[in-house]
Amino acid sequence: MSRTTRTWHHGLVARWWAEFNQGGEDVDVFRRLIERSGEPVLDAGCGTGRLLLPFLRAGIDIDGSDTSVDMLDWCRTEAEREQVSASLYPQAMHELDVPRRYRTIIVCGAFGLGGTRDQDLEGLRRLHGFLEPGGRLFMDHHLPSLENPKGWKSWIEKPELPGPWPERGDRRLAGDGTELEIRIRQIDFDPLEQTTTLEIQASQYRADEQIAVETSTIDINLYFQKEIELMLKLAGFRSVTVRAFGKARAPRSWEDERILFEASV
């Protein structure tokens, strides 16, 4: 994990992602975007390979990068098990320095995590720099106004933080017969800086006995649509379009939580 970012994607959390965070309708959405835009492809923030591995199986020429070495290790292990070749780079987006350029770069669920706003802007500049002429960036984003279950109220009324741990976590049976459980709470929120910090507790159990527990935090920069559009233009992209994720129409702020940015060089 990069020293200049603070995320929770390591240790037991990385294992959780590898074991249980698989599939999803966005795999087909990004596959169609790649088919339209072309190869080679970079999956920036690929994690344990939820998107990258299915694309490798399909024969797509795709590389991956991520700030978490642990996540990439799980991705590499699965790629080797399936006998597919993967070039993986342990780099945060703002430190991206890969050996080739791409026709398409995808970013899924990875923008604004762990760093500063300056680093996020530098990350977009790096992505721009590693696109071929005419290449495209496709990046999803969840609007912050709907991510918080209290909606807009939390932006004008200071919430009581740190929040409590949920009584029950998400507990599942892992491949080795142990159980993994994660619990998440919010510990900081600044509506003026548009930042939040979440804390995660990952536990491992064998026969109901807790044999390991890890607690870590992630810093998240909260962005609205127009901010990201401006950042993409400042990063050098000449054309930026936005729509609801997986849909052709423009997003409606109160109905579409997830949006998709398409930016070309």
171-211 pLDDT, tens per residue?
999 999 999 999 999 999 998 899 999 999 999 999 999 99
Cβ density class 53-92: b for 16+ within 10 Å, e for less: bbbbeeebbbbbbbbbebbbbbbbebbeeeebebbbbbbb
pLDDT at 3: 44
Query: Which residues in the chain come in under a pLDDT of 70?
Result: 1-5, 145-152, 251-254
pLDDT at 86: 87
pLDDT at 188: 92
CB proximity list for 34: less than 8 A, separation 6 or greater: 41, 55, 60, 62, 104, 106
List of domains in the chain = 11-142+223-264 (3.40.50.150), 147-220 (no CATH)
pLDDT at 94: 97
